[in-house]
Structure formats: structure tokens, C-alpha cells
Structure 1
Amino acid sequence: MTGKKNGNDFLNGNAGNDAIAGERGDDRLIGGSGDDSLYGELAITINPNSNIIAIGISAFPVTEGKNYLDGGDGDDILGGGGNDVILSIKS
């Protein structure tokens, strides 16, 4: 799945390799299984299989390296400003 929307979005990639961008608004992005790239604004990442919670917060525009979170299992997550929830789920 390649998804990109503006607004308060819920985007679920399910199985397969996904590139999902939430952009503006309060978004929920789920990569599912596969190698996923998720792009949001303010990122909160939860990996329930390893009980890891990582939070990336920035009031400034996104700069790669400062707001980059590795969700594991081939999932790459880039966060910036906004209220987004990003889930990296291993199936």
C-alpha cells in the first residue's frame, strides 16, 4: 500500500511492504507485516511484541536523523510536528 492523505486519517497497510504518509492532522498509521515506511508529524511508536514504546517529539520542521525511529522488522518511521500515532506490529 502507498497511502497519503491530509486531515485526521486512519491508514492501515496490512500485509506487504508499505509506504504510508499521514501528513497534516491527527493520524493513526499502521504498517502491519512486511517492510514498512511510515511518515507522520509528531510520532509515538508502539511495538506490542517487544513492549517497546518510543516517543519522538519536535516543535520544529522534520529533519532526518533527529526524528527518525526504527520500528524494527524492516519498519522505518519518520516523525515531525502534529499528533500522530504510529504502530509497528510484528505478525
Structure 2
Amino acid sequence: MNSVADTLHHVTSIVAAVAERPTEEIAPESRLIEDLELDSLQVVEIAVRAEEALGTPVDDTLLAEPGTTVARCAQVVYETGAREALA
């Protein structure tokens, strides 16, 4: 994943797959729990799929915070990848 936009696109695809919804229904401002009605296991699944794509662990507790949006998920994933690239 090269850019923030690429990361957002990829995370949106992951969220859509986990939520079993078309990608078009997933907006950057969609909240995982409140809007998409995902449960904690589904949030962990998002983290696991992002980890597989990145090759580095993603902290699922950051994704499970109340009000977390798809854009916030992408930011966490992007920042995790950037930290790993610098390490």
C-alpha cells in the first residue's frame, strides 16, 4: 500500500467484505459499530485481513473504539505500515 488513498480503498474493500455489503455502501465516514453494525469479532477480522495485506500486526483495539470510521481504520493501517517501513 503506497498512499493514504490506496490504503483507504483497500480498507474499504476489506470492511465491505466483512460487513457483507457492496463497496458502494461503505463511506469513509461510516462508523464500524454504530453504522455498519459490526461486532467485535468482525472488527478483529478487519485487523487480521489488514495485517495479511501489510505483513505487519494492526492493533485491533484501535479499530474497536466507539465511533471508529472506515477512514480512521485506513489511517491506523497506513500509520502501522509507515512505522514498519521506517523500522
Please, what TM-score do these two structures have when normalized by structure 1?
Answer: 0.29
Q: Which structure has the highest strand share of the two? A: 1
Q: Which has the higher contact order (CA 8 A, sep 6+)?
A: 2
Q: Which structure has the highest helix share of the two? A: 2
Please, what TM-score do these two structures have when normalized by structure 2?
Answer: 0.30
